[in-house]
Every structure is written in structure tokens, then in C-alpha cells.
Amino acid sequence: MAKKAEAIDMIATFQEFKENKNIDRTTMVSVLEESFRKVIAGLFGSDDNYDVVVNPDKGDCEIYRSREVVEDGEVKDPNRQISLSDAKEIDSDYERGEEVSDQVDFARFGRRAILNLRQTLASKILELEHDNLINKYKDRIGQVVSAEVYQIWKKETLLIDEEGNELLLPKTEQIPGDYLRKGENARAVVLRVDTGNGNPKIILSRTAPAFLERLLEAEVPEVNDGLITIRRVARIPGERAKIAVESYDDRIDPVGACVGVKGSRVRGIVRELQGENIDVVNFTQNEDLFVRRALSPANVASVTLDRENKKAEVYLDPDQVSLAIGKAGTNIRLASMLTGYTIDVFRNMQEGEEDEEDIMLDEFTDAIDPWIIDAIKAVGLDTARQVLGAPRSMLTDKADLEEDTVDEILGILQEEFEK
């Protein structure tokens, strides 16, 4: 009786799983039948003379075995044959050569069979869980989900969704400044579904451009309704982002609609993104104009495009160079990401400057450390006269150089011209 009760409890456990995981009735019956048949086939080499009937409503399972009636003493395979005497005990009308179908108590197959059945069921259940998880989240890639922060590790954070599924938010996909707390809900976009090693992993991201897109769709009705289209997104997570938008309705100002009155529509997004400033520009197929817009708030004097190599030479007045480059080069980096062009910034020479001798910074490697030269060139200053004519703040703030270092550099460059 103990073994029989153990088998029945197992089916009850599966029913409970079915209720918790929303497995449909047909799948549940199929899994149970397949599991019983697999164990029976393992015991006898085949299950073709067995019928398995699952009663999900009752929470039990009936197993019937078919055997051929043979004369007494001629039974060679008890699993497929039954003696005439034993058959007549079931029904006195049985004759030699007929088929006898009788119910079998699975528990009579032994404890090992019951354990095998449990393991088979557990394996099937795990497989179903994995399939359900994969199917659910493959359809949600690029969508925002909200889940509870369950565990925080050094390299990743574990979140749990409303159905108890585990989601992973790697540290590399978190915004600098994110401070996730256990028990709180966090929002992120579904980045991908990894299925390696038979163990699916749902990877989330808060740094992907799609996260910003979905947030904007939620905040701006015109985007959600399709009246405004988001054409390009470039992000330096936690610092700054640029979005190119377009509307086919001349009555709608796409930039104004996305930003809102005094930035009201992007304010909540900026908070969600840990203070990430958002620039919205009008998209255009005119690549020259698009490069100019992407470099806002700088006013570009002229642009020369190398479309084949996706390179752009941008010329600006001296007071616009620092605006085009931005703090630590963020503006020009985002503009390059948004347009797909590698952008080189050049300072327009003032009247009379074209006749003056100039020297490339690379000529000063014997007097100035190479890393300092690289830092200055990174903010768009390539020659000695460009450095001498640039605002001091470009060297201290943009190139991140110490005041003493700037004084020393300016002295070296000025001395060269005095010679």
C-alpha cells in the first residue's frame, strides 16, 4: 500500500505543478503517459502491449497490459503471455490464443521503477519549464519588463518576475549610478534569451538603446500611436543620449512633442536613466544636414562627407569647437553613433591665421608626454596654434588636464613660436 500511495502522491504533485505553471490539460496528460511508458519500456524492452490511461480529474493513472493466453506450462514471457488457468481466473470464458487485458498496479514493478518514474517526470517538467520560459521571453525581446530584485551579486543581479521566473541583469547592462535594492522592482528591456547548456537564461539590459525607445513610447502618446517615428538612438548610459525622430504629419513638431513643455515628457525618463540627459533632433535623409543636427548645440559652418568611407570633416568657428566636442568628447561620440559617420572636427582659421606657421602637436613628443598630446587631440585640437587659441577650459575640463600641466604645455608651445 505504501508504494501505491507513493505513486499516487507523485501524480498529485504533478497536478499541483500543472496548476502553478499553467500547463494545459493535453500537455499534462501527454507528459504523464510518456513518462509511464518510458519506465515500462525500460523494464520490459517495449511498451507496445501496455495502455496508459491518465485521469487528471481524479489525480490517478490506470495501466492495462495485454497478454496472449497459452496452455499451462508454455508461458515463456510472463510479460506477454498468461497461462490458460490464470486467464480463466480472470474470466472463465477465456480460450487459448485470445488476448487478456488486465489492470496492473504500477507499484508492483518495485521501488526502483517508482524512482525512475519520479526522475523521468522531474526531467520532463524541467524541460517544459525551460520551453515555456524560452517561448514567453523570445516574444518579448526588446520589450520592457518589471521584476523584483531578488539577489545582488558582483557581476550580475537576479530578478524574479510575477510567475517566479529568474531573469538576469548583468553589471555590464546596468547604468552607472544604478543602485538596485533587494525587494524593490526594477525595469529593464529584454535583451536576449541564451539557451546554451540546456539551461535558458533571460538577459535584461538598462543600457540598450531599445530601453530608451520603449520608455519614450510610454511617455509620448504620439510615438506610441505611430504619429512620430524614432529613427535612431545613441546612448552613453547614465551620461547623455541623442534621439533622431521623424513625423510624416506636418502639423506635428516631433522634437517638441517628445521633449514636452519645459522637458516635462522626458523628465521621468531622465530620472529612470540616472540623470542621463536626452537630446532630441529631427531626422533627415540629407546626411550633410543630419550631421549638423547631430552635433547640436554647436553651429556647424560646413561639412565635407566621404560617403564611401563614412567619414565627415566638420568645420566650426573657434567658439563652437568645444560645444561640438562636448564634455569628455560625449557630444561628438554620440553624433558619430547617431549618424554612423566618423566625425573629425576642424577649427576655421581666423583672418590672417592662414599665413602663420603652425606645428602639429605630434612634433612635441620630446617635450610633452604622449598621453597628454593624445588627450588634447581627443578634444579636437591637433596643432600648436589651435591649442594656444583655444579656451583654457577646453584643456582643463574637456581634456581633463591639471592647471599646472596646462601652464607648462602653453609655455612649451609659445616658446617654440618665439624661437
What end-to-end distance do the CA atoms of the chain give, in Å? 107
Q: Is residue 9 located within the same domain as residue 26?
A: yes
Q: Which residues pair with 81 in a beta bridge?
A: 68
Q: Which residues pair with 103 in a beta bridge?
A: 64
Cα(215)–Cα(271) distance, integer angstroms: 11
Are 378 and 389 contacting, i.e. CB atoms less than 8 angstroms apart?
no
The CATH number of residue 388's host domain is 1.10.150.20
For residue 314, is it within any domain?
Answer: no
394: buried, middle or exposed (CB in 10 Å: 19+, 13-18, 0-12)?
buried
Identity of residue 337: M
For residue 268, is it within any domain?
Answer: yes
Q: Is residue 84 located within the same domain as residue 153?
A: no
Q: Is residue 129 located within the same domain as residue 43?
A: yes
For residue 191, is it within any domain?
Answer: yes
For residue 24, is it within any domain?
Answer: yes
Of residues 174 and 10, more confidence is placed in 174
| Mean local confidence (pLDDT), 341-367 | 74
Give the pLDDT band of residue 22 (cuts 50, 70, 90). Answer: low
| Mean local confidence (pLDDT), 388-397 | 80
Closest by CA to 280, choosing from 269, 137, 352, 186, is: 269
Looking at residue 8, its pLDDT comes to: 47
| Mean local confidence (pLDDT), 105-124 | 80
For residue 323, is it within any domain?
Answer: no
For residue 297, say if its preceding peptide bond is cis, omega within 30 degrees of 0. yes
Q: Is residue 120 located within the same domain as residue 51?
A: yes
Domain boundary among 84, 117, 135: 135
Domain count, the chain: 4
Looking at residue 416, its pLDDT comes to: 77
Cα(310)–Cα(136) distance, integer angstroms: 39
Q: Is residue 67 located within the same domain as residue 147?
A: no
For residue 301, is it within any domain?
Answer: no
Tens digit of each residue's pLDDT (9 = 90 or more) over 147-203: 999 999 999 999 999 988 999 999 999 999 899 999 999 999 999 999 877 789 999
Domain boundary among 154, 189, 207: 207
Tens digit of each residue's pLDDT (9 = 90 or more) over 253-303: 999 999 988 888 899 999 999 999 999 999 999 999 999 999 999 999 999
Q: Is residue 194 located within the same domain as residue 115?
A: no
Are 257 and 228 contacting, i.e. CB atoms less than 8 angstroms apart?
yes
Q: Is residue 123 located within the same domain as residue 68?
A: yes
Domain boundary among 159, 189, 207: 207
Cα(264)–Cα(67) distance, integer angstroms: 79
Tens digit of each residue's pLDDT (9 = 90 or more) over 24-51: 677 777 888 888 888 888 888 888 888 8
Q: Is residue 8 located within the same domain as residue 106?
A: yes
| Mean local confidence (pLDDT), 338-366 | 76
Looking at residue 351, its pLDDT comes to: 54
The CATH number of residue 193's host domain is 2.40.50.140
The CATH number of residue 219's host domain is 3.30.300.20
For residue 328, is it within any domain?
Answer: no
Of residues 281 and 393, more confidence is placed in 281
Between 25-44 and 111-138, two packed helices, what is the crossing angle to 10 degrees?
140
Domain of residue 182: give its range. Answer: 142-207
For residue 249, is it within any domain?
Answer: yes
Identity of residue 35: S
